[in-house]
Amino acid sequence: MRVAAAHTACIAGIGQTEYTRRGGITDRSEFQLACQAIVAGAQDAGLAPAELDGFATFTEARIDAATLQLALGMPSLRFSSSMWGGRGGGACGALGHAAMAVETGRARHVVVFRTIAQGQSRRYGRFDPQRAQGNMAAPFGLFTAPQMVALVLQRYAHLHGLDPLAMAEVALAFRGHALRNPLAVFHGKPLTLEQYLAARMIAEPLRLYDCCMESDGACAVVVTTRERARDLQARPVEILAAIEHGEAGWGVGPMGGHNMPEARYATGGQRDLGRELFARAGIAPADVDFAQIYDHFTGMVLIALEDFGFCAPGEAGAFVRAGQLRWPDGALPTNTAGGCLSEAYVHGMNHVLEAVRQLRGDSTAQVAGARIGLVTGGSVISPSSAALLAAA
For residue 61, pLDDT over 80 is answered with no
Among the listed ranges 112-126, 127-141, 179-193, which one has the minimum average pLDDT value?
A: 127-141
Q: Average pLDDT in the 149-167 region?
A: 97
Q: Above 70 in pLDDT, residue 278?
A: yes
Q: Which residues contact 70 (CB under 8 A, 6 or more apart)?
A: none
Sort 22 into a burial class: Cβ within 10 Å, 0-12 / 13-18 / 19+. buried
Lowest mean pLDDT segment, chosen from 129-138, 172-181, 269-278, 352-361 = 129-138
Q: From CA 39, how far away is CA 85, in angstroms rounded? A: 26
Q: Which of the two residues, 66 and 128, has the higher pLDDT score?
A: 66
> What percent of the chain is modeled with pLDDT above 90?
83
pLDDT confidence of residue 120 = 76
Cα gap 172→174, rounded to integer Å: 6
**Average model confidence (pLDDT) for the chain?**
93
What was the pLDDT predicted at 164? Answer: 97
Q: Does the pLDDT value for residue 239 go beyond 80?
A: yes
Residue with the bigger pLDDT between 254 and 69: it is: 69
Confidence of residue 24 (pLDDT cuts 50, 70, 90): very high
How far is Cα 356 from Cα 362, in angstroms, rounded to an integer? 9
Lowest mean pLDDT among 116-130, 288-302, 334-348, 365-379: 116-130
pLDDT of 189 strictly over 60: yes
Average pLDDT over residues 3-14: 85
Residue 281's pLDDT is what? 97
Examine the pLDDT at 187 and tell me if it is beyond 80.
Answer: yes
The more confident residue out of 141 and 111 is 111
Cα–Cα distance for residue pair 130/108, rounded to 1 Å: 39
Alpha-carbon dihedral of residues 42, 7, 89, 235, nearest 10 degrees?
-40
Chain centroid to CA 203:
23
The letter for the amino acid at 3 is V
pLDDT of residue 59: 77
The rounded distance, in Å, linking the Cα atoms of 62 and 258 is 28
> What pLDDT score was predicted for residue 132?
52
Diameter over CA atoms, the chain: 58
If pLDDT is split at 50, 70 and 90, which confidence band does 150 have? very high
CATH of 9-119+211-391, one of 3.40.47.10, 3.40.50.2300, 2.60.40.60, 3.40.800.10: 3.40.47.10
Q: How far apart are CA 333 and CA 317, in angstroms?
A: 15
Please tell me the predicted confidence (pLDDT) of residue 126: 59
Write the pLDDT tens digit of every residue in 28-60.
999 999 999 999 999 999 999 999 999 999 977
pLDDT at residue 382, as a whole number: 87
- Amino acid found at 323: G
Tell me the β-bridge partners of 225: 9
Would the pLDDT of 282 be above 80? Answer: yes
Per-residue pLDDT, 1: 43
Q: What is the pLDDT of residue 249?
A: 81
DSSP 200: P
**CA nearest to 345, candidates 215, 174, 242:** 215
Q: What is the pLDDT of residues 116-134, one digit of tens each?
A: 998 776 656 655 655 555 5
Helices (H), 120-240: 145-160, 164-178, 193-198, 226-229
What is the dihedral sign for C-alpha 153, 159, 163, 166? negative
Domain boundaries along the sequence of the chain: 9-119+211-391
Answer yes or no: is pLDDT of 368 > 90: yes
Write down the pLDDT at residue 134.
55
**What does the angle CA 249 – CA 251 – CA 252 come to, to the nearest 5 degrees?**
150
Instruction: Give the Cα separation of 296 and 342 in Å (integer).
Output: 11
Of 47-51, 86-90, 140-144, 169-173, the poorest mean pLDDT is in 140-144
Among residues 219, 224, 247, 170, which one has the least CA distance to residue 51?
Answer: 224
Instruction: Name the residues annotated as catalytic.
Output: 294, 345
Q: What is the CA radius of gyration of the chain?
A: 19
Predicted TM-score (pTM) of this structure: 0.95
